[in-house]
C-alpha cells in the first residue's frame, strides 16, 4: 500500500521497461498488500494498534536499509530529497499507519481494504486547488462516483434514527483522514520531486514514520505491545509485506502505464475483501459489493480521464 501512488508521481515509466516485468512486480504487490488488512485484523487480537504500526515501520525500515546496503545504494539523502522523505514518512507512512491501525477497532478489514484506496477523489480537487492542474469532466465524475461508493460503505442511514449507532463513525473518519494524508504526500512529491529514486529513500521515510508513531504509541498505549501469538503476523507485515510490497509497487509504477497500473491495483482491495470473507467470515453484503464496485469504477474513470 505505501509507495503505490508515489511511484506514479515520482518514477515515470522509462521507455525501455517491459510490460512483462511490470506485471510481475504488480502481481507481487497485489498479493502482499491484498492480505495486509485481514492479517492485521487477526494480529490485533493480541497486539495494540499503534505498537503494531510501530513494528511495521521499524522492520520495514531495517529491511529496506539492509537491501540498499547490499546493493551499494544506501546513502544519506541530499537536501532536495528531504521534502519527499518528510511527506512520505509523516503522511503516507506514519500518519497513514497510525490512523488505519487504530481504525481497525471500528471498521471490518474488508471495508478497510477498500476505503484505504480512496485517494483518487481527494487528489482531483486538491490538484486543482494546490497545483493549478486542469481536471476533465471525466475526472470530476470519477470523484463523484467514488464519493458515492464511500458513502455506501459507511452506511450513514444506519447511524440515524432511534436504533442508529455512531460507534463506527470515528473509524470511518480516521480512514478518510488517512487517505487525505496520503493524497497530500502525493501532491508534495509532485511539486517537489526527489533527486534520487524513491526506493533509495525508503529507509529514511520509514525512519521518519517511526519517529512519529513511537511517541503516539507511548502516549496512547503505555501498556501496549505485541504478544506472542501476533508476532508471526507482525513479522510478515513488517519485514515482508511493507518493504517488498512497497518496492514492488514502485517498480510496477515505473514499468507500466498510468492507466494499466491504476486499474491493476484495483485487485488489491478486491483481494482484501475476498480474504476477509473467506478467512474472517466477514459478510459480503450488497453494500460492500456496491461500494467497492463504485470506487473501482471511479479509479478507472480517473485513469481514462
pLDDT value of position 10: 44
- Please name which of 237, 207, 176 lies closest in space to residue 52, comparing C-alpha atoms: 237
Pairwise CA distance, residues 113 & 266, whole Å = 10
What are the residues whose beta carbons fall under 8 Å from the beta carbon of 3, sequence distance 6 or more?
88, 92, 198, 202, 245, 246, 247, 249, 250
Residue with cell 522509462: 14
pLDDT value of position 13: 41
pLDDT value of position 286: 75
Using the CB atoms, write b or e for 185-197: b if 16+ within 10 Å: bbbbbbeebbeee
pLDDT value of position 137: 80
pLDDT value of position 282: 66
Rounded to 10 degrees, the C-alpha dihedral 28/301/177/205 comes to 40
Q: Residue 37 CB: number of other CB atoms within 10 A? A: 31
pLDDT value of position 270: 66
SS3 226: strand
Q: Are 259 and 82 in contact (CB under 8 A)?
A: no
Pairwise CA distance, residues 25 & 203, whole Å = 20
Supply the range of the domain harboring residue 31: 4-304
Residue with cell 498510468: 258
DSSP state, residue 104: T
pLDDT digits 0-9 by tens, 11-68: 444 444 456 777 788 788 878 887 887 888 888 889 998 999 999 999 999 999 999 9
pLDDT digits 0-9 by tens, 138-160: 777 877 787 777 677 666 666 55
pLDDT value of position 15: 44
Number of domains within the chain: 1
What are the residues whose beta carbons fall under 8 Å from the beta carbon of 61, sequence distance 6 or more?
202, 203, 206, 207, 209, 210
What are the residues whose beta carbons fall under 8 Å from the beta carbon of 230, sequence distance 6 or more?
42, 43, 44, 45, 46, 47, 52
Q: Are 139 and 302 in contact (CB under 8 A)?
A: yes
Pairwise CA distance, residues 61 & 89, whole Å = 11
Query: Which set of grid coordinates corresponds to residue 203?
Result: 529507509
Q: Are 273 and 288 in contact (CB under 8 A)?
A: yes
pLDDT value of position 37: 76
pLDDT-flagged residues of the chain (< 70): 1-19, 109-121, 123-124, 133, 135, 150, 153-168, 253-254, 256-270, 272-273, 279-280, 282-284, 299, 302-305
pLDDT value of position 8: 44
Amino acid at each position: 500500500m505505501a509507495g503505490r501512488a508515489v511511484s506514479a508521481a515520482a518514477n515515470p515509466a522509462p521507455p525501455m521497461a517491459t510490460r512483462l516485468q511490470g506485471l510481475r512486480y504488480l502481481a507481487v504487490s497485489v498479493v502482499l498488500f491484498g492480505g495486509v488488512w485481514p492479517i492485521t485484523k487477526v494480529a490485533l487480537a493480541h497486539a495494540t494498534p499503534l505498537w503494531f504500526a510501530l513494528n511495521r515501520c521499524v522492520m520495514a525500515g531495517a529491511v529496506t536499509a539492509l537491501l540498499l546496503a547490499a546493493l551499494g545504494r544506501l546513502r544519506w539523502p541530499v537536501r532536495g530529497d528531504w521534502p519527499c522523505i518528510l511527506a512520505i514518512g509523516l503522511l503516507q507512512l506514519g500518519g497513514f499507519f497510525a490512523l488505519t491501525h487504530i481504525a481497525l477497532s471500528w471498521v471490518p478489514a474488508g471495508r478497510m481494504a477498500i476505503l484505504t484506496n480512496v485517494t483518487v477523489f481527494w487528489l482531483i480537487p486538491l490538484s486543482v486547488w494546490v497545483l493549478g492542474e486542469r481536471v476533465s469532466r471525466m475526472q470530476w465524475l470519477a470523484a463523484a462516483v467514488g464519493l458515492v461508493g464511500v458513502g455506501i460503505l459507511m452506511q450513514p442511514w444506519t447511524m440515524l434514527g432511534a436504533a442508529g449507532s455512531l460507534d463506527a463513525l470515528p473509524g470511518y473518519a480516521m480512514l478518510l483522514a488517512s487517505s487525505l494524508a496520503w493524497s497530500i504526500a502525493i501532491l508534495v512529491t509532485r511539486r517537489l520531486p526527489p533527486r534520487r529514486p524513491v526506493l533509495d529513500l525508503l529507509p529514511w521515510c520509514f525512519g521518519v514514520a517511526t519517529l512519529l508513531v513511537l511517541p503516539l504509541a507511548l502516549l496512547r498505549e503505555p501498556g501496549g505491545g505485541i504478544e506472542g501469538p501476533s508476532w508471526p503476523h507482525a513479522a510478515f507485515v513488517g519485514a515482508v509485506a511493507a518493504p517488498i510490497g512497497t518496492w514492488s509497487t514502485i517498480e510496477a509504477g515505473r514499468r507500466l502505464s498510468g492507466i494499466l497500473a491504476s486499474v491493476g491495483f484495483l485487485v488489491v482491495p478486491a483481494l482484501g475483501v475476498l480474504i476477509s470473507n473467506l478467512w474472517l467470515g466477514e459478510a459480503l453484503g450488497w453494500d460492500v459489493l456496491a461500494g467497492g464496485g463504485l470506487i473501482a469504477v471511479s479509479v478507472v474513470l480517473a485513469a481514462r480521464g
